[in-house]
């Protein structure tokens, strides 16, 4: 038969576990509430965009609902989701992409960007450099390694 002392110890251990779990649950719930409040506050000065990076080898990585400040350029947004190396060329007044996530521009391959045209339902080539293109809320942009 189980001793009273063993039962008391097991009961005490379960009570400690229950109290600790309840405390941790309350703590993380409060942290979640604070996080949720901050997100709502930030959404007044930020927007969400979707970025596709097509590495040209069959690998395509989506970065959906990327938070960026209003007025952000495609280059700004891309730098939030990938490591971007670029060079500013004053004669063209534009930034050229040297590499995205370690995949470099070469003489045979380069990075090209496009945006999704919701009217025509097709990808359209970028008209300006990524550092000059201002994104719109919920816009979809793609980097393609060509």
pLDDT in tens, 128-144: 999 999 999 999 999 99
CA atoms within 13 A on the CB side of 68: 27
pLDDT score of 41:
84
Q: Which residues are CB-neighbours of 45 under 8 A, at least 6 positions away?
A: 69, 70
Answer yes or no: is pLDDT of 19 > 70.
yes
pLDDT score of 2:
65
pLDDT score of 29:
94
Q: pLDDT (tens digit, 9 = 90+) per residue, 71-122?
A: 999 999 999 999 999 999 999 888 999 999 999 999 999 999 999 999 999 9
């Amino acid at each position: 038969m189980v001793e009273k002392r063993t039962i008391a110890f097991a009961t005490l251990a379960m009570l400690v576990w229950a109290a600790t779990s309840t405390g941790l649950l309350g703590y993380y719930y409060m942290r979640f509430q604070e996080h949720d409040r901050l997100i709502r506050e930030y959404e007044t000065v930020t927007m969400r965009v979707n970025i596709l990076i097509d590495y040209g080898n069959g690998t395509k990585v989506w970065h959906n609902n990327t938070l960026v400040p209003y007025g952000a350029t495609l280059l700004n947004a891309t730098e939030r989701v990938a490591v971007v190396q670029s060079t500013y060329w004053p004669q063209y007044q534009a930034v050229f992409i040297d590499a995205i996530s370690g995949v470099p521009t070469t003489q045979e391959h380069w990075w090209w960007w496009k945006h999704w045209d919701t009217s025509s339902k097709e990808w359209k080539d970028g008209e300006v450099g990524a550092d000059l293109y201002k994104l719109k809320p919920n816009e979809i942009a793609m980097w393609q390694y060509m």
